[in-house]
Structure 1
Amino acid sequence: MSRLARHAATLLGSGLWNWHPLQGGDIAQTLLVYLNDGRTVVAKSGPDPLAEAAMLRAMGETGAPVPAVLAVDADALVMEYRPMEGTLATCWGDLGRVLAQVHEARPEGGMIRYGWAGDYALGAVSVCNTWADRWPEFWAAYRLGVHLAHVPIDVARRLEQLMRRLPDLLPATPAPALLHGDLWSGNVLVAHRSVTGLIDPCCYYGHVEVDLATVGVFSQPPAAFYMAGGPLEAGYAVRFAIYRLWIALVHLRLFGATYRPMVAQYLDDAGAG
């Protein structure tokens, strides 16, 4: 019997009836848990359940569909089960609407700053969120520079070149929006042609185009998705490449050389020589 499933039942003060693994699990174990009192919940292990719970709550406060946090401690996050019988292909427009809702949230006090209240991790890759007052500085230091010591030397040199150019390529002080931060189709629950939940967040405050860009790393969103948040600003293609590069670098470090061509492509698209 799964230790995680037993722990989830204990956190909710119920007995455990059954459980089975949910799709995914590359970074953390996720289970569908059936309790003796008739409830069905989702239980998830690390990397930081308490931080993830805070992120889910922040997104939920915007009114966006997010699984409610039912219980959490340092070892497990227990969430409301949300339907997931559909595919994103049927509701890209609804995802655009949901994201626009999340992106309305701003840092406490309305300050122009970028980051989050604490650091996070995607598996073994640390996600640094130290506050910065200018967006290009944040992206250079905490989304690109943190990888320099962990990638091949030729990739590191191209990253350094790109980092020096970021003040000319990214907006200096865009409105700091609440970001999902790790948005791809696997982190969007869908049923009945609508989004039923955003899951597995890696939240921070930053440029809205980050989420718009990263969802296109493994998918090809249609125009309806982008139109939901208004027209894209000139030069978005280069910025999208810069934002997608972070996802590619994380995958390179987590899963190896298979992702090196993706890193190279986004460096090319960003104009890094």
Structure 2
Amino acid sequence: MTTGSTTPPHMWLNGKLVPPSEARLDFLTPALHYGVAAFEGIRCYRTPRGPAIFRLQEHLERLLHSARVLGWRELPFGIEDLAEGCKNVVRASGFRECYIRPLIWLAEGGWNLTVDGGKAHAGIAVWEWKAYLGAAALEQGVRANVSTFTRHHPNVMMTKAKISGNYPNSVLAKTESLRLGFDEAILLDPQGMVAECTGENIFVVRRGRVITPPPGAILEGITRDSVMTLARDLGHEVVEQPLSRDQLYIADEVFVTGTAAEVIGLR
């Protein structure tokens, strides 16, 4: 795997468990050329009762919403098929904790730049992926800069959808930050307000209030939603409001959330 972790013995491809050697894409797969694919990242955690997939239903609902944003009106598989596929791949892997990557892509057709008349395929892979930003980040936090790149405007790229073609924006910002000696990048929206990081939502804590940018030019993260719910349950005031860049510098705390990153402080 390009993640540098253990390769699982099986992947799920269009309803069947297959060895990774059979899960290969043709060079002329349209999704490779045009970024026409929707995906999710899902965590599976070790528990006393065995592996437990975190908020699987919500992740797969978002996956199908992303596919709908791309223009697919019908798909040859539903949420139940994908859920069973995720569970089967985790079982077959033998992993107690893992990261799950379902992907729906335009496999045939699409050369006229539409999904109409094309054929969608779906695959699911799992791998062992512990600390996305490094083990030390969980204790020490990471360093981030405000990127020179801007997050997409919703009328340019649909920001509510987790679409492969959206991610060069993140790749550019993250690469720039790493080359400058930082660990992560903070992107502003087209109006100059704080949006999110390259793969994480962002929160600030200021005078006891937990503040996060509103839905707009951000992906509405499932970990973000979980953190907001838990914070409110613990009695904290949680507010969704526009966040100016200067508020990052005067905040008492800044942290980011995401399925891969989990919950990480910025320093």
TM-score tier by shorter-chain length is: under 0.3
Query: Normalising to structure 2: TM-score of the pair?
Result: 0.24
Query: Normalising to structure 1: TM-score of the pair?
Result: 0.23
Pick the structure with more helix per residue: 1
